[in-house]
């Protein structure tokens, strides 16, 4: 995912549409036409307005509506993302994030 995408991305929730914040966990630099560009591999996109979070996994921003995130394969993948980066994810997302947090957060 290219960092400039953050300028055009908005919260996908239809009642929100706020601009978003990005925390980069892992990135690399690509040379594109002689210019160095940062490519984000893993990171956390958060919405300051509605409290939702969205993961960047393997370079792809997963910005799906809640109902596609709370079950099945997508949920498992996003839950693994939270587990993988829990030391760098804000506590309020782990305990209280929308549409879900890290269930095991109570033992932290
Ligand atoms: Zn939002």
Residue with tokens 């994810």: 89
Provide the percentage of residues in the chain whose pLDDT is more than 70: 95
pLDDT, tens digit (0-9, with 9 covering 90-100), for 32-83: 899 999 999 999 999 999 999 999 999 999 999 999 999 999 999 999 999 9
The CATH fold of domain 3-107: N-terminal domain of TfIIb (2.20.25)
DSSP code string of 70-82 = SSHHHHHHHHHHH
- For ligand 1, the distance from its centroid to the CA atom of residue 15, given in whole angstroms, is 8
Band (pLDDT 50/70/90 cuts) for residue 103 is confident
Pairing of strands 53-57, 21-32: unpaired
- For ligand 1, the distance from its centroid to the CA atom of residue 50, given in whole angstroms, is 4
List all residues 6 or more positions away from 29 whose beta carbon is below 8 Å from its beta carbon.
36, 37, 38, 39
CA distance 41 to 49: 25
- For ligand 1, the distance from its centroid to the CA atom of residue 57, given in whole angstroms, is 19
- For ligand 1, the distance from its centroid to the CA atom of residue 49, given in whole angstroms, is 5
- For ligand 1, the distance from its centroid to the CA atom of residue 87, given in whole angstroms, is 23
Q: What are the φ/ψ torsions at residue 25 (nearest 5 degrees)?
A: -100, -35
- Domains of the chain by residue range: 3-107
Task: Please give the model's pTM, rounded to 2 decimal places.
Answer: 0.90
- For ligand 1, the distance from its centroid to the CA atom of residue 91, given in whole angstroms, is 18
- For ligand 1, the distance from its centroid to the CA atom of residue 104, given in whole angstroms, is 24
């Amino acid at each position: 995912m290219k960092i400039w995408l953050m300028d055009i991305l908005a919260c996908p929730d239809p009642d929100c549409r706020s601009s978003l914040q990005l925390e980069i966990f892992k990135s690399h630099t690509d040379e594109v036409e002689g210019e160095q560009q940062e490519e984000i591999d893993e990171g956390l996109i958060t919405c300051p307005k509605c409290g939702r979070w969205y993961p960047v996994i393997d370079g792809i921003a997963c910005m799906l509506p809640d109902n596609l995130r709370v079950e099945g394969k997508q949920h498992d993948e996003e839950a693994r993302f939270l587990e993988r980066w829990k030391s760098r994810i804000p506590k309020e997302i782990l305990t209280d994030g929308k549409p879900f947090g890290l269930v095991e957060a109570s033992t932290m």
